[in-house]
Structure 1
Amino acid sequence: MSVVTTDDWLADTRTSYDTVAVSYTNQLRDAIAGDPYLRAALAVFADRVRAAGGGPVADVGCGPGHVTAHLHGLGVDAFGIDLSPGMIDVARRDYPGLRFEVGSMTDLHLRDASVAGVLAWWSLIHIPDDEVPTVFAHFHRVLRPGGPLQLGFHVGNTSRLKTEGYGGHPMTVYVHRRQPDKVASWLRDAGFEIEAQWLCDPDERVPQAVLVAHRPS
C-alpha cells in the first residue's frame, strides 16, 4: 500500500462522508436510543460538564448531529464540528436550533480555553497514529482547566481501508482500532488526567471503548 499523506486521508475522509451522509444518518438515527450504555456515558459526560462549571461543549466529529442533540437534551450547551460539509448540512437540516460548523480536529479553530467540554465519539478512529498527538494538543488547548474530555473508539490493534459502507456507497477511509491503554497514554502525554475507561460489547468481534479524562485545573 502506498504512503498516505495528511492531505490525502483528510480529503478522502471528507469525500467519503459527504457521499454517505444521508444513508449514515438513516442507519444511525436511533443508535443512542437503543443503547443504554452509550446513554449512560453521555449522562456522565453531561454531569462532568456541569461539575466543571458548565459552558459551551464541542462535539468534534459530530456527523449528522444526533449526539450533539442528545447532549442538548441533557441540558448541555453543545455545538457540533465535522470535517464533512455533507454531514453538517444534514445536521443543520435535522436540528435547526443548534450550531454546527465545518472543521477538522487536526486544525481546531476554537479559542484557547474556550469550551467547557470536548466529546469525540468514533471520530478519532480515522486519525492516523502520527496525527493523534496534534489532535489531543488541540483538545487540551481549547478546554478550560477542569473541563472533561470523552472519547469513544473501536478497540483492537489493526488499521484497515474501508472502501464501501452505509448502503453500499463507495468510501475511501481508514479505520484505526486501538487499545484503551494506548489512547490513555497519548492523553497523558498531552497533559490530560484519566478519570475512567470502560469496555462495551467485550464479546463482540470489535469491542468499543469509552474513555474519560480532563484538563487539570
Structure 2
Amino acid sequence: MTDSDAGTTTTRADLADALRAARDSYDTIAEDYTGEHPDGLGDGPLYGALLTAFADLVKEAGGGPVADVGSGPGYVTARLHALGVPVFGVDVSPRMVALARRAHPHLRFHVGSMTALDLPDATLGGITALYSIIHVPDEHLPGVFAEFRRVLAPGGHVMLLFQFEEDLDGRHLAERYGRPVDLRYHWRTPDRVAGLLADAGLDVRARAVLAPEGPSRLRMPRGYVLARRPG
C-alpha cells in the first residue's frame, strides 16, 4: 500500500465515522427534534420566499425532480411539494426518514447520504440542503459539491442554508435534549461555501448573510447560497 492509498483509506474511514455519528445521534433525538422543529425552515417569511424563488427557478428550467438532502422531519420536502415541484427527501437517519414518511405519507423519503447519492448522472432539476452541510467535515465538502454537480441536470439549481459564526470553526455536542449524542458542527461563511461550489463547477448565482428573525434558540447568522449547473 502506498502512502497515498493509506491517506485515502484514512480519509474514507474518517468520513464513515462522521456519517455514523450523525446517523446515530439523529436516530437518538429524532422525536425530540421533530417536536421542536415542526416547520423549521427559518425564523421568518424571508426564508419561505427564498424557497418559493428556488421552486420557481426549478419550474422555469423544466421542472425536474428535486432532492431535499438532509430532509429530517420532511417539512421542506412538503413545502416544495405544495409549491408544485416534484420532490423527494433523503436523510442519513433511518428514524428521521420513518417520522417523515409517517407525517407525509404522500411523499417519498429515502435513507441515504449526500456524500454518495444513489442517483444517475444529470437527473435532478434541483437540490436543497438546508441546515445539513454543517455536519460534513471540511475535507469532505468539496466531494459533496462534486456529487451535487454530478446528479444535477444542466440548468439545475442547488439551494443551501446553513448556520455559521465568523470567528469559530464549529462546535461539538455530546448531549442534546438530555440524550447522549456525538454531533459535530462545521461553520463556514457564505463566501467560503460559494468558493467551494465554484471549484466544483457550479455557477454561484446569489449569496447572502441572513439574521435570525423573531425568537430563536440558536441566535446565529444564516448563510444562503444559490448555485446552478451550467448548461
Distance change (3 Å), C-alpha of 1:117 and 1:202: same
* Match for residue 185 of structure 1 among 174, 189, 195: 195
Matches within 5 A, 1:149-168: 149-156=158-165, 157-165=168-176, 167-168=177-178
**What is the deviation of 1:33?**
7.9
- 2:73 is paired with a residue of what secondary structure? coil
**What is the deviation of 1:205?**
4.6
Task: Report if aligned partners of 1:41, 1:210 keep a CA contact under 8 Å in 2.
Answer: no
What amino acid maps onto 1:40 in structure 2?
Answer: A
**What is the deviation of 1:34?**
5.4
Q: Greater Rg, structure 1 or structure 2?
A: 2
CA distance in 1, matches of 2:154, 2:99: 33
Provide the alpha-carbon RMSD of the alignment.
1.8
The aligned counterpart of 2:52 is 43
What amino acid maps onto 2:171 in structure 1?
Answer: R
Matches within 5 A, 1:26-105: 26-32=35-41, 35-105=44-114
Task: Report if aligned partners of 1:164, 1:172 keep a CA contact under 8 Å in 2.
Answer: yes
Structure 2 residue runs of 5 or longer lacking an equivalent are 1-10
Distance change (3 Å), C-alpha of 1:93 and 1:143: same
Structure 1 residue runs of 5 or longer lacking an equivalent are none
Query: TM-score, with normalisation over the residues of structure 1?
Result: 0.94
Of all paired residues, the percent bearing the same amino acid is 48
**What is the deviation of 1:32?**
3.7
The aligned counterpart of 1:118 is 127
**What is the deviation of 1:202?**
6.8
1:20 is the counterpart of 2:29: yes
Count of paired positions:
214
Matches within 5 A, 1:201-216: 201=211, 205-216=219-230
- The 4+ residue runs of structure 1 with deviation greater than 4 A are 202-205
